[in-house]
């Protein structure tokens, strides 16, 4: 335990459950100096801030040596006996060239992790980011995309493992992916290829917008110096001309899908020497000649159909608008924006299929703050510029290769080097950092759980700390929900965000904020509370007074487009919703690993992503629909965090067949039983195992008069097997246990932007391994790419 | 657990952990479960193989081409083990992986 922890915290810890303790951070690591001491001040992340309506900057994807913390043994976070070690690790990282303030190296010149630059724009702004990929792929295990090579046929095409990352303990039959059973493209691969997903953005999903189907390969390098040949200045002129044209288009038409083809000036025409698309065609052909791949061939087919291609080398210009809803009421008059971007805390991360897990774990995440009237209202209450002075918190589970690349244990389950529930959380790259507050002060914390795996269950703020939630997933809460959130525990699943107002107690001291790692609610009874961060209520500053010590009341008014989605809007889909089934099969390891045994497989509607079948969800632009998102995962229990791009959604029912309730006698019992009708306890509900129409939340209250919360990530409750009063399986006519999925029903408006995007599980190793699905939003009156993107 | 890259540099080649400030030829320290790969920065192919392949198998199924990296080798040997290796193409080029306890 760090020596500088005040006694106050030690006293508070004394009253907590067993197993809760700060764990020792080892010094004297094998190849590094000691870890950065605990209790560092919360790091101020460098920011790129929009000016005059444009967020302009350069994001460089590079490889850097950073000091990472590892936990041993690989049991759960917070387990007694765990301790930490720090090692210099080469990671893939986003750098914001123009972002300020710069973060100096730690003592000794060591570089500790820093999230990607915080992007700060305002509704209505244009985003113009130059993305440069300068990763040196050779500093990592061989992970070059091979899909196109597979498409050429030959030997590699016959091997389902070809194209996947390979990891072997000396015998490929005992390594990944042969042992795990993954096949390209739904396997770990291509971690030197980059792109950016602007998570929470409501914008153009195509071309240079929030387009996650892009694959931007690293810059070629000088053979002698190894320096990347494509630099931020390489295409500066072409990109500057494009950004100017893009801004003009978007100012003229917020719904513009420009650019749509490689012939659109000034990025094209691709046949004209000197244009960026022309330069890309040359770079791709040179890349193919060097690597024997066929990126140019794949692009050319798409270009010939006047569509936007998928592959790029070294540089890419992102240009899109953060649309501002300007009407005072909703619905709007015909012809304009139907929704607009919600101002709030959004984020961005690497989203290359096959490498999202490792890239996000390396730290390729950052916060995207979109300001608007929400901020204006807060600043009017708390003082000018207040929101910009408030803490931004990027939670991540920093690490390197996923567990599956390490051999499982001889008896099955995680092997040496694996970490149950993943690495411990860090905040802004620091372990258990300290947030300074004045006594009684109210701060606004913008928290993003950018981890690729665990949810953070906030169930343990130290006594004395109070909080109220202002926003969920970057979307403001209505006042009634804001008020109901006071001091309530909450979960931030992987990908969730929350804006919370936190009020410090008047007594100076250290107050920890505790979380539990959770991928399913069933984890919580045994999950150790661990310290996420610490609040230092300072003794040497005067207490906050007036509004700086008060929770704003009422909450800032919501934009008018955040009205509840009504029954009338979703019309027939209430009784006939689209049903989307997430499912994980249990691991096939039952004994000593051997060929043919598999890790868990993750599918949606029985398919893995991009497996050659047209499984896309097809929606017509401006449709408003109700969907039922089911979880057919029965063990180990995993509440897959459902995420869909571009449009947020509202929840109208959650059915968790594993839910427990507290009965009148104070005992915790299952909410649902499959025997005795009526159920034996008034707190319980009976589900008829032979009648799926009864498998629903028996006490669901969908009160249309109460404003619902908007989400863009929501965990799908796990399923269960029906059992009788003795706990024995209830079987169907075929003799198999009746399995009951968990689900939620959601509603969303598929408005403003047509095109292709994805929905997926936000446990990113699941996404990489296939738990992703295309969503195609078509518009009869708009020219939108109708074809499915393919990996190759 | 950590991932490591070992640079293959020079002629004859020297194996050096890709850690800032590490002297050429320094053995790589790992713990059980770590992942190791080799980054061939030379103009020749190299193929690192354990001296004792019966004990440690193959690091990679094929040689590491110039300007390429190898696939990942997952260290499963316990602490206290020293895995000596050499280049199959150039046996005089030698290196070591030392497996230590976590935190050592």
Q: What is the CATH number of the domain that holds B46?
A: 2.60.40.420
**Residue % of chain A over a pLDDT of 90:** 78
The three-state secondary structure class of B66 is coil
Among A49-58, A167-176, A359-368, A517-526, the minimum mean pLDDT is found in A167-176
Judged against a pLDDT cut of 70, whether residue B100 lies above it is answered with: yes
Domains A1-49+66-111+382-562 and A564-778 share a fold: yes
Q: Using pLDDT thresholds of 50, 70 and 90, give the confidence band for residue A450.
A: very high
User: H/E element holding B29?
Assistant: strand B28-30
Is B8 within the bounds of a domain?
A: yes
Residue window 700-729, chain A: list those with CB within 8 Å of chain B.
none
Judged against a pLDDT cut of 50, whether residue A688 lies above it is answered with: yes
Give the per-residue pLDDT at A26: 39
Q: Which whole number is the average pLDDT over A534-562? A: 97
Q: Confirm or reject contact between A223 and chain B (CB < 8 A).
A: yes
Name, in order, each residue with C-beta under 8 angstroms of A683's C-beta and a sequence gap of 6 or more. A661, A662, A663, A664, A669, A671
Please judge whether A171 and B59 are an interchain contact, meaning their C-beta atoms are less than 8 angstroms apart.
no
CA A616/CA A632 separation, integer angstroms = 19
Expressed in angstroms, the distance from the first to the final Cα of chain B is 14
Judged against a pLDDT cut of 90, whether residue B21 lies above it is answered with: yes
SS (H, E, C) A8-72: HHHHHHHCCCCCCCCCCECCCCCCCCCCCCCCCECCCCCEEECECCEEEEEEEEEEEEEEEEEEE
Measured CA to CA in angstroms, residue A187 lies from A2, A198, A556, A610 at distances of 40, 23, 44, 12
CA A252/CA A258 separation, integer angstroms = 11
- CA nearest to B6 within chain A: A139
Judged against a pLDDT cut of 60, whether residue A569 lies above it is answered with: yes
Measured CA to CA in angstroms, residue A239 lies from A54, A115, A234, A236 at distances of 14, 25, 9, 5
Give the per-residue pLDDT at A291: 86
A532 neighbors A492 (Cβ within 8 angstroms):
no
Give the per-residue pLDDT at A360: 98
Is B104 within the bounds of a domain?
A: no
More confident residue, A615 or A596: A615
Among A73-77, A264-268, A543-547, A632-636, the minimum mean pLDDT is found in A73-77
Give the per-residue pLDDT at A590: 54
Is B92 within the bounds of a domain?
A: yes
Domain of residue B20 covers: 3-99
CA A538 to mean position of chain CA atoms: 34
Give me the residue from A29, A226, A400 closest to B3, CB to CB.
A400
Work out how many domains chain B is built from and give that number: 1
Judged against a pLDDT cut of 50, whether residue A21 lies above it is answered with: no
| Strand residue runs (E) in A327-474 | 344-349, 365-371, 392-396, 426-427, 434-437, 442-449, 455-461, 466-472
Return the ∠ at Cα A595 (arms to A592 and A601), rounded to 5°. 90
Q: Which whole number is the average pLDDT over A513-538? A: 96
Q: What is the mean pLDDT of chain A?
A: 90
A792 neighbors A147 (Cβ within 8 angstroms):
yes
Give the per-residue pLDDT at A400: 95
Judged against a pLDDT cut of 60, whether residue A792 lies above it is answered with: no
Residues from chain B that touch A167, judged by Cβ atoms under 8 A, are: 35, 71-74
Among A493-507, A579-593, A729-743, the minimum mean pLDDT is found in A579-593
Chains A–B, number of C-beta pairs less than 8 Å apart = 139
Judged against a pLDDT cut of 80, whether residue B99 lies above it is answered with: yes
Check the CA dihedral A565-A654-A513-A662 and report its sign. positive
CA A467/CA A477 separation, integer angstroms = 14
Q: Which whole number is the average pLDDT over A466-486? A: 98
Please judge whether A138 and B2 are an interchain contact, meaning their C-beta atoms are less than 8 angstroms apart.
no
A9 neighbors A512 (Cβ within 8 angstroms):
yes
Q: Which whole number is the average pLDDT over A473-483? A: 98
Among A24-28, A164-168, A236-240, A720-724, the minimum mean pLDDT is found in A24-28
Give the per-residue pLDDT at A611: 62
Measured CA to CA in angstroms, residue A361 lies from A398, A449, A454 at distances of 5, 12, 11
Reading the block at residue A486, the tokens are: 């006071």
- CA nearest to B78 within chain A: A416
- The residue behind tokens 């730290």 is A363
Q: Which whole number is the average pLDDT over A631-648? A: 96
Residues from chain B that touch A172, judged by Cβ atoms under 8 A, are: 61
Give the per-residue pLDDT at A20: 36
Is B54 within the bounds of a domain?
A: yes
pLDDT in tens, A289-331: 988 889 999 999 999 999 999 999 999 999 999 999 999 999 9
Give the per-residue pLDDT at A268: 97
Q: Confirm or reject contact between A466 and chain B (CB < 8 A).
A: no
Q: Which whole number is the average pLDDT over A525-541? A: 96
pLDDT in tens, A126-142: 999 999 999 999 999 99
Judged against a pLDDT cut of 80, whether residue A441 lies above it is answered with: yes
Q: What is the mean pLDDT of chain B?
A: 96
Q: Confirm or reject contact between B1 and chain A (CB < 8 A).
A: yes
Say if the ipTM goes beyond 0.85: yes
A428 neighbors A446 (Cβ within 8 angstroms):
no
Judged against a pLDDT cut of 80, whether residue A789 lies above it is answered with: no
Judged against a pLDDT cut of 90, whether residue A248 lies above it is answered with: yes
Please judge whether A417 and B61 are an interchain contact, meaning their C-beta atoms are less than 8 angstroms apart.
no
Give the per-residue pLDDT at A29: 33
Give the per-residue pLDDT at A109: 86
Give the mutation candidate from B2, B4, B97 for the A interface (greatest A CB count, under 10 A): B2
CA B15/CA B28 separation, integer angstroms = 9
Q: Using pLDDT thresholds of 50, 70 and 90, give the confidence band for residue A734.
A: very high
More confident residue, B87 or A108: B87
Instruction: Name the DSSP class of A573.
Output: G
Give me the residue from A88, A140, A415 closest to B33, CB to CB.
A415
pLDDT in tens, A351-399: 999 999 999 999 999 999 999 999 999 999 999 999 999 999 999 999 9
Q: Which whole number is the average pLDDT over B25-50? A: 97
Residue-range domain boundaries for chain A: 1-49+66-111+382-562, 564-778
Give the per-residue pLDDT at A23: 42
Give the per-residue pLDDT at A774: 95
Among A24-33, A93-102, A177-186, A775-784, the minimum mean pLDDT is found in A24-33
CA A201/CA A213 separation, integer angstroms = 16
Judged against a pLDDT cut of 50, whether residue B104 lies above it is answered with: yes
Give me the residue from A88, A168, A401 closest to B19, CB to CB.
A88
Q: Using pLDDT thresholds of 50, 70 and 90, give the confidence band for residue A173.
A: confident
Backbone dihedral angles phi then psi of residue A359, each to the nearest 5 degrees: -70, -45
CATH code for the part of the protein at A1-49+66-111+382-562: 2.60.40.420
CATH 3.30.300.350 for domain A564-778, yes or no, is: no
Give the per-residue pLDDT at A14: 28
Measured CA to CA in angstroms, residue A325 lies from A333, A524, A782 at distances of 12, 40, 21
Nearest CA-CA partner of B12 in B39, B38, B42: B42
Among A11-25, A34-48, A542-556, B47-61, the minimum mean pLDDT is found in A11-25
Give the per-residue pLDDT at A613: 73
Please judge whether B74 and A68 are an interchain contact, meaning their C-beta atoms are less than 8 angstroms apart.
no
Q: Which whole number is the average pLDDT over A601-607? A: 94
A182 neighbors A165 (Cβ within 8 angstroms):
no
Judged against a pLDDT cut of 90, whether residue A572 lies above it is answered with: no
- The residue behind tokens 């985003």 is A127
Give the per-residue pLDDT at A154: 43
């Amino acid at each position: 335990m760090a020596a500088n922890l005040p006694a106050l915290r030690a006293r508070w810890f004394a009253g907590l459950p067993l197993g809760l303790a700060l764990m020792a951070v080892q010094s004297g690591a094998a190849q590094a100096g000691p870890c950065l001491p605990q209790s560092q001040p919360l790091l101020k992340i460098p920011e790129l801030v929009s000016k005059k309506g444009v967020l302009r900057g350069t994001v460089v994807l590079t490889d850097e040596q950073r000091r990472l913390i590892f936990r041993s043994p690989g049991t759960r976070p917070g387990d007694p006996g765990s301790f930490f070690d720090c090692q210099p690790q080469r990671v893939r990282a986003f750098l914001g060239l123009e972002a300020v303030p710069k973060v100096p190296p730690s003592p000794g010149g060591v570089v500790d992790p820093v999230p990607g630059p915080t992007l700060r724009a305002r509704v209505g702004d244009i985003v113009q980011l130059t993305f440069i990929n300068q990763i040196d792929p050779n500093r990592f295990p061989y992970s070059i995309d091979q899909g196109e090579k597979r498409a050429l046929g030959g030997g590699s095409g016959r091997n389902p493992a070809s194209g996947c990352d390979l990891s072997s303990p000396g015998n490929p039959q005992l390594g990944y992916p042969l042992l795990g059973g993954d096949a390209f493209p739904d396997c770990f691969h291509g971690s030197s290829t980059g792109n950016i997903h602007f998570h929470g953005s409501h914008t153009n999903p195509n071309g240079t917008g929030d387009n996650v189907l892009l694959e931007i390969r690293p810059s070629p390098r000088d053979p002698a110096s190894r320096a990347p040949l494509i630099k931020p200045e390489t295409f500066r002129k072409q990109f500057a001309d494009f950004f100017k044209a893009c801004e003009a288009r978007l100012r003229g038409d917020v719904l513009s899908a420009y650019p749509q083809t490689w012939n659109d000036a000034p990025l094209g025409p691709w046949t004209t020497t000197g244009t960026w698309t022309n330069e890309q065609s040359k770079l791709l052909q040179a890349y193919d000649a060097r690597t024997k791949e066929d990126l140019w061939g794949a692009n050319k087919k798409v270009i010939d159909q006047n569509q936007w291609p998928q592959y790029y080398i070294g540089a890419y210009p992102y240009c899109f608008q953060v649309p501002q809803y300007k009407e005072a009421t909703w619905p709007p008059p015909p012809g304009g924006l139907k929704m607009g971007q919600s101002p709030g805390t959004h984020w961005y991360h690497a989203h290359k299929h096959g490498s999202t897990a490792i890239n996000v774990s390396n730290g390729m995440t950052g916060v995207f703050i979109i300001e608007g009237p929400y901020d204006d209202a807060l600043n009017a209450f708390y003082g000018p510029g207040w929101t910009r002075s408030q803490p931004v918190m990027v939670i991540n589970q920093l690490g390197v290769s996923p567990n599956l690349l390490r051999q499982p244990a001889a008896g099955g389950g995680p092997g040496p080097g694996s970490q149950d529930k993943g690495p411990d959380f860090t905040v802004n790259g620091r372990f258990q950092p300290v947030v300074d507050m004045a006594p009684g002060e109210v701060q606004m914390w913008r928290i993003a759980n950018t981890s690729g795996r665990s949810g953070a269950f906030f169930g343990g703020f130290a006594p004395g700390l109070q909080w109220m939630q202002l926003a969920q997933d970057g979307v403001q809460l209505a006042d009634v929900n804001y008020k109901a959130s006071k001091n309530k525990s909450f979960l931030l699943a992987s990908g969730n965000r929350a804006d919370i107002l936190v009020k410090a107690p008047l007594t100076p001291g250290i107050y920890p904020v505790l979380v539990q790692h959770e991928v399913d609610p069933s984890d919580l009874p045994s999950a150790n509370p661990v310290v996420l961060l610490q609040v230092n209520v300072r003794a040497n500053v005067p207490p906050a007074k007036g509004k700086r010590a008060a929770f704003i009341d009422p909450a800032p008014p919501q934009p008018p487009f955040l009205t509840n989605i009504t029954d009338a809007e979703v019309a027939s889909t209430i009784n006939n919703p689209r049903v989307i089934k997430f499912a994980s099969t249990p691991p096939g390891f039952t004994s000593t690993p051997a060929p043919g045994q598999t890790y868990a497989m993750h599918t949606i509607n029985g398919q893995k992503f991009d497996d050659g079948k047209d499984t896309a969800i097809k929606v017509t632009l401006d449709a408003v629909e109700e969907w039922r998102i089911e979880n057919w995962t029965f063990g180990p229990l995993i509440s897959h965090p459902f995420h869909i791009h571009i449009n947020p959604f509202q929840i109208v029912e959650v059915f968790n067949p594993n839910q427990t309730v507290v009965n009148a006698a104070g005992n915790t019992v299952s909410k649902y039983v499959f025997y005795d009708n009526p159920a034996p306890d008034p707190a319980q509900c009976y589900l008829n195992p032979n009648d799926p129409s009864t498998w629903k939340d028996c006490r669901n209250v969908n009160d249309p008069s109460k404003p619902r919360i908007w989400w863009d990530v929501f965990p799908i409750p796990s399923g269960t097997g029906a059992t009788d009063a003795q706990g024995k399986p209830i079987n169907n006519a075929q003799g198999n246990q009746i399995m009951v999925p968990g689900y939620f029903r959601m509603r969303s408006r598929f408005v403003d932007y047509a095109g292709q995007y994805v929905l997926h599980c936000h446990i990113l190793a699941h996404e990489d391994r296939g738990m992703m699905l295309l969503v195609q939003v078509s518009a009869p009156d708009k020219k939108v790419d109708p074809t499915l993107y393919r990996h190759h | 657990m950590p991932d490591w890259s070992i640079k293959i540099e020079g002629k004859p080649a020297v194996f050096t952990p890709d850690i800032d400030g590490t002297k050429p030829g320094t053995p790589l320290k790992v713990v059980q479960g770590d992942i190791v790969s080799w980054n061939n920065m030379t103009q020749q192919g190299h193929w690192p193989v354990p001296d004792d392949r019966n004990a440690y198998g193959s690091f990679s199924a094929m040689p590491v081409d110039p300007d390429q990296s190898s696939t990942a080798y997952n260290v499963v040997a316990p602490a206290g083990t020293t895995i000596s290796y050499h280049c199959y193409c150039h046996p005089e080029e030698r290196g070591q992986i030392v497996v230590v306890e976590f935190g050592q």
